[in-house]
Structure 1
Amino acid sequence: MGERIYLQYPGNGEPVAVATGFSWGACLLGFFWALSKKMWFAAFVMLSVSIILLSMGLWGETADLIGTVLSILFAVGCGIYGNQWHRWTLEKRGYVVL
């Protein structure tokens, strides 16, 4: 388990915990995870890339294999960077690290 970083909006008493390290939620759930974290732009990008990779499978066997490999790599990339994106989004909204 990774450590957690706590961020708080100035004037609000409720801190938000953001995990560090790999995000299994971002890896396995993709844009649904981003929507649950209210990361609207990230959710849109993740959904768009997923649709593009899915449509590659409609072009034939070779494109299907390439699309599958790229989808797996994209999911792993989302897992690696997901928590960083969440922290960055909160900081852009005005949250500060405690």
Structure 2
Amino acid sequence: MGARIYLHYPGNDEAVAVASGFSWGACLLGFIWALSKKMWFAAFVMLAVNVILFGMGLWGETADLIGLVLSILFAVACGAYGNRWHRWTLEKRGYVVV
């Protein structure tokens, strides 16, 4: 776990802490983690990818193994980029780095 980056909305005294580094919440919980952070588009994309990968598992044994591997890779990618996506979302909403 890396250092935290603090962002605040102009005119508001409260700061939001965003961790840097790997996000276990994004890795293990996926779109539920994104919904808890109010990252609506990211949650929709994560859910869509998970449904597609789940659907691959219904096609047969080989596709099931490929779907499992791709699901694990997608979860690791979400964990690696989750905190960056959260910071980017907050910055797009007008938050600035303190």
Q: Same fold (TM over 0.5)?
A: yes
Query: Is residue 2:36 matched to residue 1:36?
Result: yes
Mapped to 2, the partners of 1:84 and 1:29 lie a distance apart of: 16
Query: Is residue 2:13 matched to residue 1:18?
Result: no
Root mean square deviation, CA, Å? 0.3
Number of equivalent positions: 98
Identity across the alignment (%): 84
TM-score by length of 2: 0.99
Query: Counterpart of 1:7 in 2: which secondary structure?
Result: strand
1:11 CA displacement:
0.2
Mapped to 2, the partners of 1:96 and 1:17 lie a distance apart of: 12
Mapped to 2, the partners of 1:25 and 1:44 lie a distance apart of: 16
TM-score by length of 1: 0.99
Aligned partner of 2:92 in structure 1 is 92
The residue identity in structure 2 corresponding to 1:26 is A
Mapped to 1, the partners of 2:27 and 2:66 lie a distance apart of: 19
**Structure 1, gaps ≥5 residues long:** none
Query: Counterpart of 1:59 in 2: which secondary structure?
Result: coil
Aligned partner of 1:69 in structure 2 is 69
Aligned partner of 1:50 in structure 2 is 50
The residue identity in structure 2 corresponding to 1:62 is T
Mapped to 1, the partners of 2:58 and 2:72 lie a distance apart of: 17
Query: Counterpart of 1:54 in 2: which secondary structure?
Result: helix
Alignment of 1:76-87 (within 5 A): 76-87=76-87
1:37 CA displacement:
0.2
